[in-house]
Amino acid sequence: AHWGGFTLEAQHYPDSPNQPHFPTTVLSPGEAYSQTTVYKFRAN
């Protein structure tokens, strides 16, 4: 390929509503949602 690339996608655990040991992805009315994703890269 002439150009290459990659992606890092922050997401929730797949199938979390059906897996009781996974963190919940349900946001109830009145609850706040916040997520922070930090990527650090270094090239020499």
CA torsion sign for 12, 15, 16, 22 is negative
- What's the predicted TM-score (pTM) here? 0.42
Question: 29 with 35: CB under 8 angstroms?
Answer: no
Between the CA atoms of 32, 36, 37 and 43, what dihedral angle is there, to the nearest 10 degrees? 170
pLDDT recorded at residue 42? 92
pLDDT recorded at residue 8? 82
**C-alpha to C-alpha distance for 10 and 14, rounded to whole angstroms:** 12
pLDDT recorded at residue 30? 97
Report CA Rg, the chain.
16
pLDDT band for position 5 (50/70/90)?
Answer: confident
**C-alpha to C-alpha distance for 36 and 8, rounded to whole angstroms:** 14
pLDDT band for position 31 (50/70/90)?
Answer: very high
